[in-house]
Amino acid sequence: MINDKKVLFSGMQATGNLTLGNYLGALQNWVKLADEYECFYSVVDMHSITVRQDPATLRKRARSLLILYIAAGLDPEKACIYFQSHVSAHAELAWILDCYTYMGEMNRMTQFKDKSAKHADNINVGLFAYPVLMAADILLYQTDLVPVGIDQMQHLEITRDIANRFNNIYGQTFTIPEAYIGKVGAKIMSLQDPTKKMSKSDENPNASIYLMDDPDTIRRKFKRAVTDSEGCIAYRDEQAGLKNLIDIYAACTGKTPDTIVSEFSGLGYGQLKEAVGEAVVDKLSPLQQRCAELEKDKSYIDGIIKNNAEKASYYAAKTLRKVQRKVGFPDRIR
Ligand code: TRP
């Protein structure tokens, strides 16, 4: 607990172009959670270098992602928005936790298997140890809740295993975090293959709406979105493309799927696609504008980066010192 509030931690990588899925599925919920919980939202740049990055691009994208957090409505005075690499405790705790994590359990991580297949020429130790760094992220802040997508559940499980193991050896040290499963966790699917999640790494640019897409591009992508040949507007699993369009419309407008189905009953898919496209344009245009304005305000953003890194370091150091003491590192001399 910090200030009588439960602690919530989450992170996002600045690699690839963020999509509407990242926004509606994650960021928009982060904003809602920020009033109720003490939130730490990190730009996890240390995770990003597990695959090769162009340094200038990574630096620029990391900053833009931090700005996007603010543009999306997070108050940087309340939620701690910071770069993972600015808080050295992440690396230090990750090393210690590496020594309490077994090769065998890491070998089971499905994301490691997927990513090694994808980057066969660069299967580095960091990629393998990625979940331990994620565990360090979470455990450093005595986190109660972690809003994550289904693809990160296995990493959260291993975080809990590592924390329990450490607590069993050394006594109560870490809070055991739980997944926060959102009530309306909009899961946004690819516009070209609605059985797949909308992904920033999709090779087909028409499959994803990027947050910085201009209005015409957005409208065009929705026009081309894959639907079905049933010809009837309904909200059901068998019409996955349509269901996805309705979910997007619902997440943008706050309407329920039922309301949307009755709103469009008797109309064609084309009309629904057009409406969804407009709703997304209306949602993203102000966001893009706020990002552009904040990008220009260098000293304001720099101030946030500095203050929040200090705030995160303060809380992280408390846990790290406790852990260092428990494993037997000599006390610091002040
Ligand atoms: N691995 C997460 C992802 O790719 C990002 C992440 C890093 C994270 N550290 C975290 C998410 C801690 C939640 C908590 O989506």
Please list the pLDDT of the chain residue by residue as tens digits (334 residues).
Answer: 999 999 999 999 998 788 999 898 889 999 999 999 999 999 999 999 999 999 999 999 999 999 999 999 999 999 999 999 999 999 999 999 999 999 999 999 999 998 999 889 999 999 999 999 999 999 999 999 999 888 899 999 999 999 999 999 999 999 999 999 765 457 899 999 999 999 888 889 999 999 999 999 999 999 999 999 998 999 999 999 999 999 999 999 999 999 999 999 999 999 999 999 999 999 999 999 999 999 999 999 999 999 999 999 999 999 999 999 999 999 999 8
CA–CA distance, 258 with 233 (Å, rounded to integer): 11
pTM: 0.92
H-helix or E-strand containing 179? strand 178-180
Range of the structural domain that residue 56 is part of: 7-180+298-327
The CATH number of the domain holding residue 94 is 3.40.50.620
72 located within any domain: yes
Q: Which of 6, 183, 196, 197 is catalytic?
A: 197
Distance 44 CA to ligand 1 centre (A): 7
Do 257 and 245 contact (CB within 8 A), yes or no? Answer: no
- Bridge partners of 2, per DSSP, are 5
Q: Are residues 307 and 168 in the same domain?
A: yes
Of 83, 88, 80, nearest to 8 by C-alpha is 80
Q: Is 200 a catalytic residue?
A: yes
For residue 276, the domain's CATH number is 1.10.240.10
197 is catalytic: yes
Counting from 1 in the atom list of ligand 1, the atom nearest the Cα of 9 is: 14
Which of ligand 1's atoms lies nearest the C-alpha of 47?
7
What lines the ligand 1 site, CB under 6 Å?
9-11, 13, 44, 47, 134, 137-138, 146, 148, 152
Question: Is 7 in a helix, a strand, or coil?
Answer: strand
φ, ψ of residue 95 to 5 degrees: the values are -60, -45
Query: Ligand 1 centre and the CA of 10: distance in Å?
Result: 6
